[in-house]
Amino acid sequence: MIDIENLGIVFGSGKSQITAVRNVSLTVAEGESYGIVGESGSGKSTVLRAMVGIYSHWTGTIRIAGEPLKTKRSVSSRKHMQMVFQDPYGSLHPRRTIDDTLSEPLIIHGLKNREDRVLKILKEVGLGPEFRFRYPHQLSGGQRQRVAIARALILEPRVILLDEPTSALDVSVQAEILNLLSALRKTHGLTYIMVSHDLAVVGHLCSRIAVMNRGEVVEEMSEEQMRSGNVRHDYTRQLWTASQGYDRAALETFKEFA
């Protein structure tokens, strides 16, 4: 479903030039949930933003279902790949009702039966019809993220890109959202790429995981390798150790990877 070859993204020019993503290649099968992990600034979210069309100055090749994406995306191509952002507070317009938010993509793409579609998708994400005419400030963080997921799903895409969708939520709510995402993937046959700095969160949802550091993929591992710590690259091992909790002795052995 997803095939990325030698993806590169550079910001700035001259002495201020920064290579955010360098020669990233990965493949994701249809219906698979694929994770990308790494510390802040590793380039993982930048990959998603290039895929969805927020960044258009990328180099390399991105194919979705065998079709190469162009840097300038058509409206129809955007329909089949949607994104859920990290911050449920910032990704919803504060002065628009939930009905407005969910209806807008239907209007853009000329889809009919809007009321039925809105009510159906609200039910699927665990929100009843009573939420339809509420505003974002009247919802909890978890409810807002459910609306963001509903907005991504309402166009019936094939691919969903998840940019740390639970990091702004309480731990108990995180589990609810992850279980919802897992159920929706199975129900709709969706393909996911999920970005996170939290190995436990990615391991809950993803069967394969790419580890990024300074814009490059340094290792790809299975869910079992992630859980057991059976990894090859020193950076991955350090990231795994950090995910196990605070350890003063281990912290003193950490190093920065160039």
Q: What is the pLDDT of residues 3-60, one digit of tens each?
A: 999 999 999 988 889 999 999 999 999 999 999 998 888 999 999 999 998 998 999 9
The fold of 25-55+70-253 is Rossmann fold (3.40.50)
Q: What is the rounded distance in angstroms from the CA atom of residue 22 to the CA atom of residue 6?
A: 7
**Is residue 253 predicted with pLDDT exceeding 70?**
no
Q: What is the pLDDT of residue 4?
A: 96
Query: Based on the number of CB atoms within 10 Å of its own CB, is 70 exposed (0-12), middle (13-18) or buried (19 or more)?
Result: exposed
Q: Are the C-beta atoms of residues 215 and 20 closer than 8 Å to each other?
A: yes
Write down the mean pLDDT value for the chain: 89
In the chain, % helix, strand, coil (3-state, to 5) comes to 40, 25, 35
| Phi then psi dihedrals of residue 248, to 5 deg | -60, -45
The average pLDDT across 225-238 equals: 80
pTM summary value: 0.91
The average pLDDT across 179-190 equals: 95
The pair of three-digit structure tokens given for residue 90, joined into one six-digit string: 């910032």
pLDDT band at 180 (very low <50, low <70, confident <90, very high): very high
pLDDT tens sequence across 100-135: 999 999 999 999 999 999 999 999 999 999 999 999
**Is residue 248 predicted with pLDDT exceeding 70?**
no
First to last CA, the chain: 32
Domain definitions of the chain by residue range:
25-55+70-253
